[in-house]
Homo-oligomer: A and B are copies of this chain.
Amino acid sequence: MFNIKSFGIIGGDKRQLYCARSIAEDGYSVSICGFEKRDSFNELLELELDQIIEKSDAIILPLPCSRDGKNINAPFSDCGIIIDDKTERLIGNKPVFCGMQNKLPFQCGQVYDYSNREEFAVENAVPTSEGAIEIAMHEYDGTINSSQCLVAGYGRIGRVLADMLAGIGARVTVSARSLKDMAFIRSRGFNAISSQALCGRYDIIFNTVPHMLFDSYTLAKIASGALVVDLASSPGGVDFEAAERLGIKVVHALSLPGKAAPKTSGMIIKNAVYNIIREEQL
């Protein structure tokens, strides 16, 4: 179906291994590089950096593709993976699929960022929401069922998370900014409140909004005694110091998809790569 017949997966964690396995199960030739420390997925062929590039029609890098702007992000590797000029020439015009392209530590002809695609973000809302629920189950001494839950924000994560919480039997309130979103929230049978005027009393609060929604005043008003799970990317949306002063437990949960469900996360990367290949007719 694609012109690309062989994939080289370089760097990454368990997500990339699941991604590699799943691509192999689809009948493509797959090899990996940078996974010396893996203790499973032994069916996957590991090659040296130059070998894998030569052998592969396309390269898949992890999310983020680099953490230090120099090495490929490869936590399962014993040593750093650096793409030098010679390796760069080997890559040449081969398609490179990566997460967070702005961190890519080398030049090449065709780069595609799978992490800024809309369906990628939506699909990741599922493992993020499950990860958040797992944290809440672990940290909260009661059950989610019949607890009062607030989901702040009705974007991708808020939408998926609110439905899951209700599916477990929580009493769900969702905050949103627009009247339109509040109408959608009510249509699901949830309470809708305005993000500009948070109110109520909750057992568990999930924040998905990436700015300071839960300042000291709001924490004191609605979060006393609650568990707060902050899902907003750094610096988060909660005044952590104020929370500590108030004795409110806050968990700042980042990068949940890879932690909570590496298999699903790997599939989501694969799907995004396939979608790019289809759209770009690679």
Give the number of times this chain occurs in the complex, counting copies.
Answer: 4
Q: Is A4 an interface residue (CB 8 A)?
A: no
How many Å lie between the Cα of A140 and that of B189 in the bound state?
19
Judge whether A141 and B275 touch: CB under 8 Å: no
A171: chain B residues at CB < 8 Å are 189
Complex contact A126–B187 (CB within 8 A): yes
A260 at the B interface (CB under 8 A): yes
Dominant SS among interface residues on chain A: helix
Range class of the A interface residue count:
35 or more
Given A143-B261, A187-B160, A261-B142, answer yes or no on A130-B137 (Cβ-Cβ < 8 Å). yes
Per a CB cutoff under 8 Å, which of B143, B167, B264 touches A143? B264
In contact, A169 and B180 (Cβ under 8 angstroms): no
Q: How far is the CB of A264 from chain B (nearest CB, A)?
A: 4
Cβ-based interface call for A241 (8 A):
no
Cβ–Cβ contact A189 & B169, under 8 A: yes
Q: Mark A193-236, 1 if CB is under 8 A from B, else 0.
A: 00000000000000000000000000000000000000000000
